[in-house]
Amino acid sequence: MKPTSSQLTFQIGIATLGRFLINIARRMIYPFASVLSVGLGVPLFYISSLIAINQATGLLSPLFGPLSDRWGYRTMMLLGLAILSFGMGFVGIFPFYGVLVVAMFLAGLGKSIYDPALQSYIGENVPYERRGLAIGLVEYSWAGSTLIGLPLVGLLLANPNYDWQLSFLILSGLTLVPLVGLALTIKSAHSPPQPNQNRTSVWQLWAMLANHKRARSFLGFGFLTGMANDILFVIYALWLSQQFDLGIAAIALATPVIGLAELIGETLTATIADRIGLSRALLGAGILTTISYALLPVIGQTTNGALIALFLAFVLFEFTVVTSFSVATELFPTARATLLSAYVAAGGAGRVIGSLLATLLWSWGQQSSWSGIIVSSVVITLLNGLGILCFWWEHNA
């Protein structure tokens, strides 16, 4: 028995709150590394290294996707939230560096479990013609964590009347709201495994995915586009500081601009992707993203031009990636969470490689007759273009 329209609306709303809190926990290490360094009395490098730990948890996502398909999406959503609440409360009570390492690992693990299960639940219950709207609204939690969540955490950390670990305790307590809400409103019958899925082993699910040609090419799309975007994400600060002599404070102002770009990209998915058709919207957004990457050194001749070029690239990429989640929910219906978790891992692997390549490309460009932005632009344009070809091939297979 599927939930009614009003029940589903409430469930998606409270699930979005859960994802909002998970995203805050996942992203807070970036802007507040120095605060945590001082609070724990450890070198800044120790805190910055947690970013790699946090990112690496995305590669564990494929371990849990098949479990969602076997045990039900409700179970895994609740598990992801429980892990987050425990991790945040753990470091809030025991404020030591080793505990923070465990907490940030658990935050990343909770997201790796929660996101594919939530997206699969939407895929199971929301008609495909409205899937872009539902996924787009849920993805507001990503931009919202930057525009709303992180500034609120910053206010807590800046208040001299409170210790830094209070923000972790508050996150832990707030996570119980969606945890209890989903437990009470999503009945087991609302998120059943697929027929005969309980008798399908994890290895059989992976074998099914490996033999699915369209799924394989879609994972290639996620890997290549993730790599391209992370190269840009790593080098954009170098570009702004070295070519236009912008200081750290000026570059820091780009953070809310990126959040706004993410918000616009998510809105585009929610408002127009269903009308265009999800596959057509994804192909068009991917092509436009590729063009925006190619135009970075052309438009970015001045400071304002560079900021406009970056803004457009981030808007179009967010439109692409959010729409891709909508498409993924129906690409392999018999094992939605298995595919979605593999897609998350493929994109994560691409981002890891992209982050390692970024500074090498920039340095090579600076030492050659070209510039760092030209070399980077050529590479990310080619990578994203290959990713779009993978999707086009899958869509026409």
When divided into structural domains, the chain yields a total of 2
> Is residue 22 domain-shared with residue 169, that is, in the same domain?
yes
Question: pLDDT at residue 391 above 70?
Answer: yes
Q: What range does the domain containing 194 cover? A: 5-198
**Domain end among 180, 198, 216:** 198
Question: Can you give the pLDDT at residue 297?
Answer: 95
> Is residue 123 domain-shared with residue 94, that is, in the same domain?
yes
Q: What is the mean pLDDT of residues 346-362?
A: 87
> Is residue 248 domain-shared with residue 166, that is, in the same domain?
no
> Is residue 59 domain-shared with residue 178, that is, in the same domain?
yes
> In the chain, count of helices (H) and strands (E)?
20, 0
Q: What is the dihedral of CA 344, 47, 231, 259, to 10 degrees?
A: 70
Q: What is the CATH number of the domain that holds 261?
A: 1.20.1250.20
3-state class of 301 per DSSP? coil
- Which among 178, 172, 31, 23 is positioned nearest to 111, based on CA atoms? 23
Q: Which residue has the higher pLDDT, 338 or 141?
A: 141
Question: Can you give the pLDDT at residue 57?
Answer: 81
Per mean pLDDT, which range of 86-100, 238-252, 331-345 is the poorest? 238-252
> Is residue 334 domain-shared with residue 246, that is, in the same domain?
yes
| Percent of the chain residues topping a pLDDT of 70 | 91
- The encoded tokens of residue 97 equal 């560096």
> Is residue 241 domain-shared with residue 388, that is, in the same domain?
yes
266 burial level (CB within 10 Å; 0-12, 13-18, 19+): buried
> Is residue 192 domain-shared with residue 212, that is, in the same domain?
no
**Domain end among 198, 227, 262:** 198
User: What's the full length of the chain, in residues?
Assistant: 397
> Is residue 234 domain-shared with residue 267, that is, in the same domain?
yes
The b-or-e profile of 6-41 (16+ CB within 10 A means b, else e) is: eebeebbebbbbbbbbbbbbbbbbebbbebbbebbe
Q: Which amino acid is at 318?
A: E
Q: How high is the mean pLDDT of the chain? A: 87
Q: What is the mean pLDDT of residues 147-162?
A: 86
Question: pLDDT at residue 12 above 80?
Answer: yes
State pLDDT tens for residues 311-323: 999 999 999 999 9
Question: Can you give the pLDDT at residue 278?
Answer: 93
- Which among 101, 304, 71 is positioned nearest to 193, based on CA atoms? 71
> Is residue 284 domain-shared with residue 323, that is, in the same domain?
yes
Question: Can you give the pLDDT at residue 196?
Answer: 45
Question: pLDDT at residue 193 above 70?
Answer: no
Question: Can you give the pLDDT at residue 190?
Answer: 47
d(CA 271, CA 260): 16
Question: Can you give the pLDDT at residue 32?
Answer: 83
**Domain end among 174, 198, 222:** 198
> Is residue 38 domain-shared with residue 179, that is, in the same domain?
yes
Within 13 A of 9's CA, how many CA atoms are on the CB side? 3
Question: pLDDT at residue 192 above 50?
Answer: no
Question: Can you give the pLDDT at residue 44?
Answer: 82
State pLDDT tens for residues 54-98: 777 877 888 888 888 888 899 999 999 999 999 999 999 999 999
Q: What is the mean pLDDT of residues 274-290?
A: 95
Question: Can you give the pLDDT at residue 214?
Answer: 80
> Is residue 122 domain-shared with residue 241, that is, in the same domain?
no
> Is residue 186 domain-shared with residue 212, that is, in the same domain?
no
pLDDT level of residue 305 (50, 70, 90 thresholds): very high
pLDDT level of residue 195 (50, 70, 90 thresholds): very low
pLDDT level of residue 102 (50, 70, 90 thresholds): very high
Question: Can you give the pLDDT at residue 180?
Answer: 97
Question: Can you give the pLDDT at residue 395?
Answer: 65
State pLDDT tens for residues 251-271: 666 667 888 998 999 999 999
Collect contacts of 47-53 with beta carbons under 8 A, ≥24 apart.
50/100, 50/101, 50/104, 53/101, 53/104, 53/105, 53/108
State pLDDT tens for residues 198-235: 555 666 667 777 777 788 889 999 999 999 999 998 88
